[in-house]
């Protein structure tokens, strides 16, 4: 009698990205909803919408679109988002929501004007570069989107990756923050395959949304040199393997009510038993 083959464990996702890995580490139930069930109904914060609008403006600006037109395209994106897709916080009335939207527009226009007052200059090779690549020894492919891929200023035969962030305050610890290194390595693998060139650095520009009272610069630059990240690469590989092993086993997904972004939503899902 022929024996039946044992069923193989099928992984619930096709690849890892920086955002999906961070979501899994922060709130596994919210991760399952978005990246496994592919349900994207969680309202977005005002800050995340401003950040997306800023990225759209810079994507167009670095694609040789006139500055004012690039800014307008970001503004149109922001205005097109419906109220049901926005987390207004304590603003519940129509009037309060209109005031929040007006504040969001002002914040966007201010922060993008800060950046474009004296934008960093690069020899741009690619804008919004997307890729999914297989990496040796990793159990799942890696996906990343790079804001800019540019000619490296310290090695003309190599390329740098540029990332933009619009923030309420500058990151304490700067380039030493582990989250920067993890994101950098995601982008390193995709860009090195897509461009087939040595990738030298990951450059982060943080642009602060509120005006500094002391008149200091609104833009702060952090640089990670991949040649000095050997330990971080080893940790990255271990983290991807361990996270993949976690999602491969049968498990109960529990909420993280303390998650400032999706804690309430994940707890509601758990309370209602919407995810088995």
Q: Tens of pLDDT along the chain (276 residues)?
A: 444 444 445 899 999 999 999 999 988 988 999 999 998 888 999 999 999 999 999 999 999 999 999 999 999 999 999 999 999 999 999 999 999 999 999 999 999 999 999 999 999 999 999 999 999 999 999 999 999 999 999 999 999 999 999 999 998 877 778 889 999 999 999 999 999 999 999 999 999 999 998 989 999 999 999 999 999 999 999 999 999 999 998 877 766 666 555 556 655 654 556 555
CATH topology of domain 124-245: Lambda Exonuclease; Chain A (3.90.320)
Where in the chain are the domains? 124-245
Please, which residues bridge with residue 131 across strands?
Answer: 144
pTM: 0.88
Q: What counts of helices (H) and strands (E) characterise the chain?
A: 8, 8
Nearest to 56 by CA among 108, 117, 124: 108
Please, which residues bridge with residue 272 across strands?
Answer: none
Q: What share of the chain is helix, strand, coil (3-state, %, to 5)?
A: 45, 20, 35
DSSP 8-state symbol, 174: G
């Amino acid at each position: 009698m022929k024996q039946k083959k044992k069923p193989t464990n099928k992984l619930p996702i096709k690849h890892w990205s920086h955002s999906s890995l961070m979501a899994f580490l922060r709130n596994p139930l919210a991760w399952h909803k978005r990246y496994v069930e592919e349900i994207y109904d969680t309202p977005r914060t005002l800050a995340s919408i401003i950040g997306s609008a800023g990225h759209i403006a810079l994507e167009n600006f670095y694609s040789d679109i006139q500055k004012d037109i690039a800014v307008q395209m970001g503004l149109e994106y922001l205005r097109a988002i419906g109220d049901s897709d926005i987390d207004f916080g304590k603003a519940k009335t129509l009037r309060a929501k209109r005031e929040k939207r007006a504040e969001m527009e002002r914040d966007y226009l201010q922060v993008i004007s800060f950046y474009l007052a004296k934008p960093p200059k690069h020899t741009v090779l690619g804008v919004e570069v997307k890729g999914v690549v297989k990496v040796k020894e990793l159990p799942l492919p890696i996906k990343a989107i790079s804001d800019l891929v540019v000619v490296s200023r310290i090695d003309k035969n190599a390329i740098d990756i540029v990332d933009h962030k619009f923030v309420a305050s500058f990151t304490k610890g700067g380039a030493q923050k582990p989250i920067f290194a993890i994101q950098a390595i995601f982008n390193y693998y995709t860009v090195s395959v897509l461009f087939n060139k040595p990738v030298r650095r990951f450059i982060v520009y943080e642009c602060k949304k509120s005006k500094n009272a002391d008149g200091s610069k609104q833009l702060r630059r952090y640089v990670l040199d991949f040649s000095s990240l050997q330990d971080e690469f080893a940790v990255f590989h271990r983290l991807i393997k361990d996270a993949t092993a976690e999602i491969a086993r049968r498990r109960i997904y529990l909420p993280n009510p303390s998650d400032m972004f999706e804690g309430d939503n994940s707890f509601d899902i758990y309370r209602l038993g919407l995810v088995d």
